[in-house]
Structure 1
C-alpha cells in the first residue's frame, strides 16, 4: 500500500498553519482542493486527522501522533533539496562540518585550513552548536562531519555512524596567577567555597562541576558570574576574580602565557573524549575522507570509539 504523499504534505501544512485557509494561502492551492484531499485520505485509511473546536481546526489524538513522523519526512525532503542545490551551486563539492564550541574554536580552524590548501575549490561550511545538536545535525543529514565531546550524547540511534576518538581533553580548575590557590593543591571542599565564574546553565562543564560536587558529597559552589561564551568566562578569571572549571584545550594557551594558573584539586580528574563522527566511510566523498585523515593525523588517537 503506497501512501499518498501529496495528501500527507497538505495535512502537514494545515497542521502547521492551524487552518485550511492559512495553508491555502501559503501553498497557493484552493481551500476546497486541500479539504477534499484530506477527507479522501481520512476515508481511505479510516482515520480522523482534524476536528473542529469552535472556529478552530485542531489535530485529533491520532493527528498529533502522525504529525511528528510527517514533520521528519518533509524536513528530510527539504534537506534533499538543499543537497541538490549544493550539488549544482558547488560542483567541486561542499563539506559541512558541525561541532561544539571547543571543536570549532580550537581544533577545526587548523584542520579546515589544511583541507582548503588541498581542496581550494571545495566549499567549507562550519557551524557551532552544542554536542547533542552536533550529533543531531549529522543524523538528520544536515552535516557531513560532527566533532564534539561525547559526554552529553543521549541519541541511541548511532549504530549507522562511524565514530573515532580524536583526543582526551582534561578539564581543570583555573584561577588568576595572583589567586591564593594558584599552583597549589587543595581539597574539593576548599575549592567549592570560592566564587565561580561559569558558562550558562546547560553547558557541559557546568553540569559536570555540579556532578563532581554530588559525587564528593560537598555543597555546590555559588556561580557569581555567568556568561554565554567560554572566552568571556576565561577573560573574567584572567582579570583576577573567582575560579572556573574549563577545558585544558581552551585554557592551555592562557596557562602558557601565565595569564591563568591551575589549581590541583585532590582526587578530582575529569576527562572528556573528543570524537569525530560521520556516516559510513564507504559512502563518503573522497574529500570528506581526506578531512577525517587530516583530523586523525593532527591529534594522536588512542583508541577507536565504535557504535
Structure 2
C-alpha cells in the first residue's frame, strides 16, 4: 500500500522561512518571492488544514502555539530535503562513490587515518571525507544520513538508535587521569577526593570524556570538579595539560602516545577505572553502498592489530 503525501510542502516551506526570518517582509527578501504570494500561500495552508500558524501582536507577527509545535518537524523535514539534494549532487560528482566517515577525536586521530589510507589504496576512485566532532554529534550525523560510518563510544547509542543501526565493537578503552610530569600527583596514588580538588581541563559538554567524568563522580557520590579550561578539541585539551596547568581525564588510547614521549604521566586514582567500547556504526547492511561495506570489512579485518 502506497501512502499518498498530500501535505502542501511549498506552503509549509514558506511558513518555515517566515518563522525563521521573523516577518513576511524579510522572508520575501531572502526567497525572492513577493510578500502577497507568501501571505496568500500561508493563508491557503491555514484554511486547507484548519489551523492558525501566526497571529499579530502589535506590529509583530508571532507564532501561535501550534505554529511553534510545527516548526521543529518542519525544520527536520527541510534539513532532510537538503541532505537528499547533497546526496544526489554527490552521486553525480562522484560516480564511483563518496565515503563520509565521522568520529570523535580518538577515532579520527588514532584509528581512522590508517584505515582510510588502506581503503584509498584499494579504492582510489572513491572520494573519502572525514570529519571530527564529539561522539553525540557523530551519532547525529549518522542518524541524519550526513555520514555513512561513525566511530564512537557505545555509551552514546540509545536502545532506540540501535534498532536503526548496525554496530560492530572495535576496541575496549580505559579512561585515565593524566597530568604533566612535574605535577604534584604525577605517577602517585591519590584518592578521588584529592583528585577532584584539582583544576580540570576538559572537552566541551557532549564529549564522551566529559560525560564519563561526571558518571565517575556520581558513582563516588561526589561533586564534579571545577572545569577551569574547556576546549572543543582533545588535542588542545591535552596540550594545555602538557603545558603544566591542571589535570584531565582522557582515553588511554589517546594519552598513550604522549605518555610514551614523556609529555604526560598517569595519576593513579584509587578505585576501579571506567572503560568504554569503541564501536563502528552504520545504517543497516542492506542500505549500504558497496564501497561502504568494503570499508567496514577492511576495519573489521584490521581491528585485530589494535588488540
Q: TM-score, normalised by structure 1?
A: 0.88
SS in 2 for 1:156: helix
> What is the match of residue 73 of structure 1?
77
> What is the match of residue 121 of structure 1?
125
> What is the match of residue 264 of structure 1?
268
Q: Say if 1:165 and 1:274, in contact at 8 Å, map to a contact too.
A: yes
Provide the rounded CA distance (Å) in 2 between the counterparts of 1:122 and 1:152.
29
SS in 1 for 2:202: strand
> What is the match of residue 211 of structure 1?
215
> What is the match of residue 108 of structure 1?
112
> What is the match of residue 244 of structure 1?
248
Greater shift in the superposed pair: 202-211 or 30-39: 202-211
Deviation digits for residues 156-187 of structure 1, max 9, x if unmatched?
34411111111111011223344454444333
- Does the alignment pair 1:160 with 2:161? no
When residues 52 and 221 of structure 1 are mapped into structure 2, their CA distance, relative to the original with a 3 A threshold, is closer
Q: Say if 1:165 and 1:301, in contact at 8 Å, map to a contact too.
A: no
Per-residue deviation, 1:232: 2.9
Provide the rounded CA distance (Å) in 2 between the counterparts of 1:221 and 1:35.
53
> What is the match of residue 61 of structure 1?
65
Q: Say if 1:254 and 1:260, in contact at 8 Å, map to a contact too.
A: yes
From 152, 161, 166, the equivalent of 1:148 is: 152
Q: Say if 2:135 and 2:207, in contact at 8 Å, map to a contact too.
A: no
Per-residue deviation, 1:278: 0.8
Greater shift in the superposed pair: 76-85 or 54-63: 54-63
From 169, 175, 180, the equivalent of 2:173 is: 169
> What is the match of residue 54 of structure 2?
50
> What is the match of residue 288 of structure 1?
292
Greater shift in the superposed pair: 213-222 or 289-298: 213-222
SS in 1 for 2:291: helix
SS in 2 for 1:143: coil
From 27, 33, 38, the equivalent of 2:31 is: 27
When residues 207 and 295 of structure 1 are mapped into structure 2, their CA distance, relative to the original with a 3 A threshold, is same
How large is the Cα RMSD of the aligned pairs? 2.4
Per-residue deviation, 1:220: 4.3
> What is the match of residue 185 of structure 1?
189
- Name structure 1 gaps, 5 residues minimum: 303-307
Greater shift in the superposed pair: 197-206 or 120-129: 197-206
Deviation digits for residues 118-144 of structure 1, max 9, x if unmatched?
111211111111111111111111111
Q: Say if 1:131 and 1:153, in contact at 8 Å, map to a contact too.
A: no
Q: TM-score, normalised by structure 2?
A: 0.88
Per-residue deviation, 1:222: 4.2
Per-residue deviation, 1:77: 0.9
> What is the match of residue 13 of structure 2?
9
Displaced runs of 4 or more, over 6 A: none
Q: Say if 2:22 and 2:62, in contact at 8 Å, map to a contact too.
A: yes
Per-residue deviation, 1:269: 1.0
Per-residue deviation, 1:225: 4.4
- Name structure 2 gaps, 5 residues minimum: none
